[in-house]
Amino acid sequence: MTVNHVKRAFKYRFCPSDAQAAELSRTFGCVRKVYNLALAARTEAWTRQERVNYNATSAMLTAWKKTEELAYLNEVSSVPLQQTLRHLQTAFTNFFGKRARYPHFKSRRKSRKSAEYTTSGFRFRDGKLTLAKMPEPLDIVWSRPLPEGAKPSTVTVSQDAAGRWFVSLLCDDPSVTPLRANDNAVGIDVGLDHLLTLSTGEKVTNPRHERKDRVRLAKAQRNLAKKTRGSANRNKARHKVARIHARIADRRRDGLHKLTTRLVRENQTLVIEDLTVRTMVKNRTLARAISDAAWSQFRRMLEYKAAWYGREVIAVDRWFPSSRLCSACGTVQDKMPLNVRTWTCDRGTTHDRDVNAAKNLLAAGRAVAACGAGVRPQRSTPGGQSAMKQEVSRREP
Protein backbone atom coordinates (compact mmCIF):
# COMPACT_ATOMS: atom_id res chain seq x y z
CA MET A 1 0.00 0.00 0.00
CA THR A 2 1.44 3.37 -1.04
CA VAL A 3 2.03 6.09 1.49
CA ASN A 4 -0.30 9.05 1.10
CA HIS A 5 1.60 12.15 2.20
CA VAL A 6 -0.97 14.38 3.85
CA LYS A 7 -0.50 17.89 5.15
CA ARG A 8 -1.74 17.71 8.72
CA ALA A 9 -1.89 20.33 11.45
CA PHE A 10 -0.80 19.38 14.97
CA LYS A 11 -2.16 21.76 17.57
CA TYR A 12 -0.67 22.27 21.04
CA ARG A 13 -1.14 24.59 23.96
CA PHE A 14 1.77 26.68 25.21
CA CYS A 15 2.47 29.08 28.02
CA PRO A 16 4.21 32.26 26.80
CA SER A 17 6.38 34.43 29.00
CA ASP A 18 5.25 37.99 29.60
CA ALA A 19 7.60 39.24 26.91
CA GLN A 20 6.42 36.62 24.42
CA ALA A 21 2.76 37.36 25.17
CA ALA A 22 3.36 41.07 24.62
CA GLU A 23 5.19 40.41 21.34
CA LEU A 24 2.45 38.12 20.07
CA SER A 25 -0.28 40.56 21.09
CA ARG A 26 1.49 43.30 19.11
CA THR A 27 1.77 40.93 16.16
CA PHE A 28 -1.94 40.08 16.29
CA GLY A 29 -2.80 43.79 16.28
CA CYS A 30 -0.49 44.52 13.35
CA VAL A 31 -1.84 41.57 11.37
CA ARG A 32 -5.38 42.83 11.88
CA LYS A 33 -4.38 46.38 10.94
CA VAL A 34 -2.64 45.33 7.72
CA TYR A 35 -5.54 43.10 6.72
CA ASN A 36 -8.06 45.91 7.22
CA LEU A 37 -5.90 48.46 5.39
CA ALA A 38 -5.45 46.13 2.43
CA LEU A 39 -9.15 45.25 2.36
CA ALA A 40 -10.09 48.95 2.40
CA ALA A 41 -7.65 49.63 -0.46
CA ARG A 42 -8.97 46.76 -2.53
CA THR A 43 -12.58 47.72 -1.85
CA GLU A 44 -11.94 51.29 -2.91
CA ALA A 45 -10.22 50.07 -6.08
CA TRP A 46 -13.15 47.75 -6.77
CA THR A 47 -15.55 50.73 -6.77
CA ARG A 48 -13.37 52.19 -9.55
CA GLN A 49 -13.64 48.89 -11.46
CA GLU A 50 -9.99 48.12 -10.74
CA ARG A 51 -8.51 44.95 -9.36
CA VAL A 52 -5.67 44.93 -6.86
CA ASN A 53 -3.73 41.69 -6.39
CA TYR A 54 -1.36 40.41 -3.70
CA ASN A 55 1.71 41.99 -5.29
CA ALA A 56 0.07 45.42 -5.21
CA THR A 57 -0.91 45.10 -1.53
CA SER A 58 2.59 43.88 -0.69
CA ALA A 59 3.99 47.07 -2.24
CA MET A 60 1.43 49.04 -0.23
CA LEU A 61 2.69 47.37 2.95
CA THR A 62 6.23 48.54 2.21
CA ALA A 63 4.95 52.07 1.76
CA TRP A 64 2.87 51.94 4.95
CA LYS A 65 5.90 50.95 6.99
CA LYS A 66 7.71 54.11 5.85
CA THR A 67 5.00 56.42 7.14
CA GLU A 68 5.19 57.94 10.60
CA GLU A 69 1.67 56.83 11.47
CA LEU A 70 2.31 53.15 10.69
CA ALA A 71 6.00 52.90 11.56
CA TYR A 72 5.12 50.52 14.41
CA LEU A 73 4.55 47.80 11.79
CA ASN A 74 8.36 47.48 11.64
CA GLU A 75 8.45 46.33 15.26
CA VAL A 76 6.99 42.90 14.49
CA SER A 77 8.04 40.15 12.10
CA SER A 78 7.14 40.89 8.47
CA VAL A 79 6.25 37.25 7.78
CA PRO A 80 2.79 37.25 9.46
CA LEU A 81 2.01 40.56 7.76
CA GLN A 82 2.79 39.10 4.34
CA GLN A 83 0.79 36.00 5.19
CA THR A 84 -2.32 37.99 6.08
CA LEU A 85 -2.11 39.63 2.64
CA ARG A 86 -1.98 36.17 1.08
CA HIS A 87 -5.02 35.16 3.12
CA LEU A 88 -6.85 38.23 1.85
CA GLN A 89 -5.94 37.28 -1.71
CA THR A 90 -7.38 33.81 -1.10
CA ALA A 91 -10.56 35.35 0.31
CA PHE A 92 -11.01 37.45 -2.83
CA THR A 93 -10.27 34.45 -5.06
CA ASN A 94 -13.02 32.50 -3.30
CA PHE A 95 -15.37 35.48 -3.59
CA PHE A 96 -14.82 35.88 -7.32
CA GLY A 97 -15.20 32.11 -7.69
CA LYS A 98 -18.59 32.37 -5.92
CA ARG A 99 -17.40 30.06 -3.15
CA ALA A 100 -17.60 32.64 -0.35
CA ARG A 101 -18.98 36.00 0.59
CA TYR A 102 -17.16 39.29 0.22
CA PRO A 103 -14.31 39.57 2.80
CA HIS A 104 -15.19 41.54 5.92
CA PHE A 105 -13.08 43.72 8.18
CA LYS A 106 -11.51 42.22 11.29
CA SER A 107 -12.83 43.47 14.61
CA ARG A 108 -10.56 44.06 17.60
CA ARG A 109 -12.93 42.24 19.96
CA LYS A 110 -14.60 39.58 17.85
CA SER A 111 -12.01 38.49 15.29
CA ARG A 112 -9.76 35.53 15.91
CA LYS A 113 -6.33 36.49 17.22
CA SER A 114 -3.79 34.63 15.13
CA ALA A 115 -0.58 35.01 13.17
CA GLU A 116 0.93 32.63 10.64
CA TYR A 117 4.68 32.14 10.19
CA THR A 118 6.35 30.44 7.23
CA THR A 119 9.77 28.77 7.39
CA SER A 120 11.59 32.11 7.25
CA GLY A 121 9.76 33.27 10.37
CA PHE A 122 10.59 30.48 12.82
CA ARG A 123 13.27 27.96 13.80
CA PHE A 124 12.41 24.38 14.77
CA ARG A 125 15.34 22.41 16.15
CA ASP A 126 15.59 19.56 18.64
CA GLY A 127 11.89 19.76 19.43
CA LYS A 128 12.04 23.47 20.26
CA LEU A 129 10.15 26.16 18.35
CA THR A 130 11.46 29.72 18.28
CA LEU A 131 9.55 32.46 16.47
CA ALA A 132 11.03 35.53 14.79
CA LYS A 133 11.73 38.48 17.10
CA MET A 134 11.88 36.13 20.10
CA PRO A 135 15.14 35.08 21.77
CA GLU A 136 13.63 32.13 23.65
CA PRO A 137 11.63 29.12 22.37
CA LEU A 138 7.95 28.70 23.20
CA ASP A 139 7.08 26.59 26.24
CA ILE A 140 4.89 24.08 24.39
CA VAL A 141 2.96 21.28 26.06
CA TRP A 142 3.71 18.39 23.68
CA SER A 143 0.51 16.42 24.28
CA ARG A 144 1.29 14.08 21.38
CA PRO A 145 4.42 13.53 19.30
CA LEU A 146 4.94 14.96 15.85
CA PRO A 147 5.54 12.47 13.01
CA GLU A 148 9.08 11.18 13.00
CA GLY A 149 11.36 13.57 11.17
CA ALA A 150 8.56 16.11 10.69
CA LYS A 151 9.56 19.58 9.55
CA PRO A 152 6.79 22.17 9.93
CA SER A 153 6.11 24.19 6.78
CA THR A 154 3.98 26.78 8.56
CA VAL A 155 3.33 27.65 12.19
CA THR A 156 0.16 29.40 13.33
CA VAL A 157 -0.01 30.99 16.77
CA SER A 158 -3.41 31.92 18.18
CA GLN A 159 -5.18 32.97 21.35
CA ASP A 160 -8.83 32.10 21.96
CA ALA A 161 -11.45 34.17 23.77
CA ALA A 162 -10.76 32.25 26.99
CA GLY A 163 -7.15 33.48 26.97
CA ARG A 164 -5.62 30.12 26.03
CA TRP A 165 -2.59 30.13 23.73
CA PHE A 166 -2.21 27.59 20.91
CA VAL A 167 0.40 26.81 18.31
CA SER A 168 -0.44 24.76 15.21
CA LEU A 169 2.33 23.12 13.19
CA LEU A 170 1.54 22.07 9.61
CA CYS A 171 3.59 19.00 8.67
CA ASP A 172 3.68 16.17 6.17
CA ASP A 173 2.28 13.12 7.96
CA PRO A 174 3.45 9.88 6.28
CA SER A 175 1.52 7.82 8.84
CA VAL A 176 -1.80 8.63 7.12
CA THR A 177 -2.35 5.85 4.60
CA PRO A 178 -5.46 4.73 2.68
CA LEU A 179 -7.40 2.04 4.48
CA ARG A 180 -8.13 -1.31 2.91
CA ALA A 181 -11.15 -0.98 0.65
CA ASN A 182 -14.37 -2.74 1.65
CA ASP A 183 -17.93 -3.05 0.38
CA ASN A 184 -19.58 -1.26 3.29
CA ALA A 185 -21.78 1.73 2.55
CA VAL A 186 -23.94 3.73 4.94
CA GLY A 187 -26.58 6.41 4.65
CA ILE A 188 -26.43 9.11 7.35
CA ASP A 189 -29.44 11.22 8.33
CA VAL A 190 -28.75 14.05 10.79
CA GLY A 191 -31.28 15.32 13.28
CA LEU A 192 -31.86 16.83 16.70
CA ASP A 193 -33.63 14.07 18.62
CA HIS A 194 -30.72 11.84 17.56
CA LEU A 195 -27.53 13.38 16.25
CA LEU A 196 -27.26 10.73 13.52
CA THR A 197 -29.43 7.91 12.25
CA LEU A 198 -27.67 5.34 10.08
CA SER A 199 -29.19 3.17 7.37
CA THR A 200 -28.15 0.15 9.46
CA GLY A 201 -30.74 1.20 12.04
CA GLU A 202 -28.21 2.55 14.53
CA LYS A 203 -29.10 5.85 16.20
CA VAL A 204 -26.40 8.04 17.71
CA THR A 205 -27.56 9.99 20.74
CA ASN A 206 -27.35 13.76 20.56
CA PRO A 207 -25.06 14.70 23.50
CA ARG A 208 -26.43 18.28 23.65
CA HIS A 209 -23.22 19.71 25.08
CA GLU A 210 -24.55 23.26 25.20
CA ARG A 211 -27.71 22.26 27.06
CA LYS A 212 -25.68 20.55 29.79
CA ASP A 213 -23.92 23.82 30.60
CA ARG A 214 -26.83 26.13 29.79
CA VAL A 215 -27.65 27.05 33.41
CA ARG A 216 -24.00 27.71 34.22
CA LEU A 217 -23.58 29.73 31.02
CA ALA A 218 -26.71 31.80 31.62
CA LYS A 219 -25.57 32.66 35.14
CA ALA A 220 -22.15 33.75 33.86
CA GLN A 221 -23.75 35.85 31.11
CA ARG A 222 -26.10 37.57 33.58
CA ASN A 223 -23.11 38.35 35.77
CA LEU A 224 -21.27 39.78 32.76
CA ALA A 225 -24.23 42.00 31.83
CA LYS A 226 -24.14 43.66 35.27
CA LYS A 227 -20.50 44.74 35.03
CA THR A 228 -19.45 48.23 34.00
CA ARG A 229 -18.07 48.41 30.48
CA GLY A 230 -14.30 48.79 30.42
CA SER A 231 -13.82 47.67 34.02
CA ALA A 232 -11.47 44.94 35.20
CA ASN A 233 -14.38 43.02 36.71
CA ARG A 234 -16.16 42.98 33.36
CA ASN A 235 -13.03 41.59 31.73
CA LYS A 236 -12.90 38.81 34.34
CA ALA A 237 -16.58 38.03 33.80
CA ARG A 238 -16.07 37.96 30.03
CA HIS A 239 -13.25 35.44 30.40
CA LYS A 240 -15.47 33.25 32.56
CA VAL A 241 -18.15 33.18 29.86
CA ALA A 242 -15.48 32.43 27.25
CA ARG A 243 -14.11 29.52 29.30
CA ILE A 244 -17.57 27.94 29.47
CA HIS A 245 -17.98 28.31 25.70
CA ALA A 246 -14.51 26.81 25.19
CA ARG A 247 -15.39 23.82 27.39
CA ILE A 248 -18.55 23.20 25.34
CA ALA A 249 -16.69 23.51 22.03
CA ASP A 250 -13.88 21.19 23.18
CA ARG A 251 -16.29 18.43 24.21
CA ARG A 252 -18.29 18.81 21.00
CA ARG A 253 -15.19 18.64 18.81
CA ASP A 254 -13.82 15.62 20.68
CA GLY A 255 -17.09 13.72 20.25
CA LEU A 256 -17.31 14.51 16.55
CA HIS A 257 -13.72 13.42 15.98
CA LYS A 258 -14.39 10.03 17.56
CA LEU A 259 -17.66 9.58 15.65
CA THR A 260 -16.34 10.58 12.22
CA THR A 261 -13.21 8.47 12.61
CA ARG A 262 -15.32 5.40 13.40
CA LEU A 263 -17.64 5.96 10.43
CA VAL A 264 -14.74 6.47 8.01
CA ARG A 265 -12.88 3.40 9.25
CA GLU A 266 -15.93 1.14 8.98
CA ASN A 267 -17.39 2.26 5.63
CA GLN A 268 -16.09 2.72 2.11
CA THR A 269 -18.98 4.95 1.00
CA LEU A 270 -20.76 7.47 3.20
CA VAL A 271 -23.89 9.21 1.95
CA ILE A 272 -25.13 12.41 3.59
CA GLU A 273 -27.69 15.08 2.83
CA ASP A 274 -26.53 18.40 1.39
CA LEU A 275 -27.95 20.82 3.96
CA THR A 276 -27.64 24.62 4.03
CA VAL A 277 -27.03 25.03 7.75
CA ARG A 278 -26.37 28.75 7.35
CA THR A 279 -29.97 29.18 6.20
CA MET A 280 -31.39 26.82 8.77
CA VAL A 281 -29.98 28.67 11.76
CA LYS A 282 -32.03 31.71 10.77
CA ASN A 283 -34.93 29.89 12.44
CA ARG A 284 -34.67 31.48 15.88
CA THR A 285 -36.55 28.64 17.55
CA LEU A 286 -34.03 26.04 16.41
CA ALA A 287 -30.83 28.06 15.90
CA ARG A 288 -29.34 27.09 19.28
CA ALA A 289 -30.10 23.38 18.87
CA ILE A 290 -28.81 23.27 15.28
CA SER A 291 -25.61 25.08 16.23
CA ASP A 292 -25.09 22.70 19.16
CA ALA A 293 -25.49 19.69 16.85
CA ALA A 294 -22.67 21.11 14.65
CA TRP A 295 -23.74 19.47 11.40
CA SER A 296 -21.36 21.58 9.32
CA GLN A 297 -18.41 20.62 11.51
CA PHE A 298 -19.44 16.97 11.28
CA ARG A 299 -19.51 17.16 7.48
CA ARG A 300 -16.12 18.89 7.26
CA MET A 301 -14.50 16.25 9.46
CA LEU A 302 -16.13 13.44 7.51
CA GLU A 303 -14.98 14.80 4.16
CA TYR A 304 -11.34 15.46 4.99
CA LYS A 305 -10.92 12.15 6.82
CA ALA A 306 -12.49 10.33 3.89
CA ALA A 307 -9.97 12.02 1.59
CA TRP A 308 -7.15 10.94 3.90
CA TYR A 309 -8.14 7.31 4.06
CA GLY A 310 -9.41 6.67 0.53
CA ARG A 311 -13.12 6.73 1.32
CA GLU A 312 -15.95 8.41 -0.60
CA VAL A 313 -18.50 10.91 0.70
CA ILE A 314 -21.58 11.57 -1.46
CA ALA A 315 -23.91 14.50 -0.77
CA VAL A 316 -27.50 14.02 -1.90
CA ASP A 317 -29.69 16.94 -2.94
CA ARG A 318 -31.45 18.47 0.07
CA TRP A 319 -34.78 18.40 -1.81
CA PHE A 320 -34.69 14.62 -2.22
CA PRO A 321 -37.86 13.35 -0.40
CA SER A 322 -35.99 10.94 1.85
CA SER A 323 -38.58 11.00 4.65
CA ARG A 324 -41.69 10.65 2.46
CA LEU A 325 -40.29 7.96 0.15
CA CYS A 326 -40.90 4.31 1.05
CA SER A 327 -37.55 2.54 0.97
CA ALA A 328 -39.28 -0.80 0.29
CA CYS A 329 -41.67 -0.09 -2.59
CA GLY A 330 -40.70 3.39 -3.75
CA THR A 331 -44.05 5.11 -3.27
CA VAL A 332 -43.98 8.74 -2.13
CA GLN A 333 -46.37 10.05 0.50
CA ASP A 334 -48.04 13.36 -0.28
CA LYS A 335 -47.70 14.60 3.30
CA MET A 336 -45.58 13.61 6.27
CA PRO A 337 -46.49 15.61 9.42
CA LEU A 338 -43.50 16.32 11.61
CA ASN A 339 -45.06 14.64 14.64
CA VAL A 340 -45.18 11.33 12.75
CA ARG A 341 -42.04 9.41 13.67
CA THR A 342 -43.25 6.01 12.41
CA TRP A 343 -45.55 5.45 9.46
CA THR A 344 -46.93 2.68 7.27
CA CYS A 345 -46.93 2.95 3.48
CA ASP A 346 -49.89 2.00 1.31
CA ARG A 347 -48.49 -1.50 0.81
CA GLY A 348 -48.23 -2.25 4.51
CA THR A 349 -44.54 -1.60 5.27
CA THR A 350 -43.95 0.15 8.60
CA HIS A 351 -41.03 2.59 8.77
CA ASP A 352 -39.14 4.48 11.40
CA ARG A 353 -39.01 7.94 9.86
CA ASP A 354 -35.28 8.56 10.43
CA VAL A 355 -34.10 5.05 9.53
CA ASN A 356 -36.20 5.14 6.36
CA ALA A 357 -34.65 8.49 5.42
CA ALA A 358 -31.14 7.11 5.94
CA LYS A 359 -31.93 4.08 3.76
CA ASN A 360 -33.24 6.31 0.99
CA LEU A 361 -30.14 8.50 1.17
CA LEU A 362 -27.99 5.40 0.82
CA ALA A 363 -29.93 4.23 -2.24
CA ALA A 364 -29.68 7.68 -3.84
CA GLY A 365 -25.95 7.82 -3.10
CA ARG A 366 -25.39 4.43 -4.69
CA ALA A 367 -27.23 5.62 -7.80
CA VAL A 368 -24.95 8.66 -7.98
CA ALA A 369 -21.86 6.48 -7.56
CA ALA A 370 -23.05 4.00 -10.19
CA CYS A 371 -23.82 6.45 -12.99
CA GLY A 372 -21.56 9.33 -12.01
CA ALA A 373 -24.47 11.74 -11.98
CA GLY A 374 -27.71 12.14 -10.18
CA VAL A 375 -29.00 14.33 -7.45
CA ARG A 376 -26.85 17.42 -7.22
CA PRO A 377 -27.02 20.26 -4.70
CA GLN A 378 -29.36 23.10 -5.61
CA ARG A 379 -28.94 26.60 -4.25
CA SER A 380 -32.57 27.69 -4.11
CA THR A 381 -36.10 26.54 -4.70
CA PRO A 382 -38.22 27.72 -7.62
CA GLY A 383 -40.41 29.65 -5.20
CA GLY A 384 -37.47 31.30 -3.46
CA GLN A 385 -37.99 29.39 -0.21
CA SER A 386 -35.04 28.70 2.02
CA ALA A 387 -33.72 25.16 2.22
CA MET A 388 -34.92 23.75 5.53
CA LYS A 389 -34.56 20.18 6.67
CA GLN A 390 -38.03 18.83 7.37
CA GLU A 391 -37.02 16.94 10.46
CA VAL A 392 -35.89 20.08 12.27
CA SER A 393 -38.71 22.43 11.34
CA ARG A 394 -40.31 21.83 14.70
CA ARG A 395 -39.44 23.03 18.16
CA GLU A 396 -36.44 21.60 19.96
CA PRO A 397 -37.66 18.83 22.30
Active site residues: 189, 273, 354
Which residue from 46, 45, 30 is spatially nearest to 83, judged by alpha carbons?
A: 30
Helix (H) / strand (E) element for 300: namely helix 295-309
From the number of C-beta atoms within 10 Å of its C-beta (0-12, 13-18, 19+), residue 307 rates as: middle
CA–CA separation, 139 vs 131, rounded Å? Answer: 12
Q: Let me know: does 6 contact 308? Beta carbons within 8 Å.
A: yes
Residues 6+ positions from 244 with CB-CB distance below 8 Å: 213, 216, 217, 220
Helix%, strand%, coil% for the chain, nearest 5: 40, 20, 40
Calpha distance 251→337 (Å, rounded): 34
Strand partners, 123: 130
Side-chain-side CA neighbours of 34 within 13 Å: the count stands at 35
DSSP, collapsed to helix, strand or coil, labels residue 286 as coil
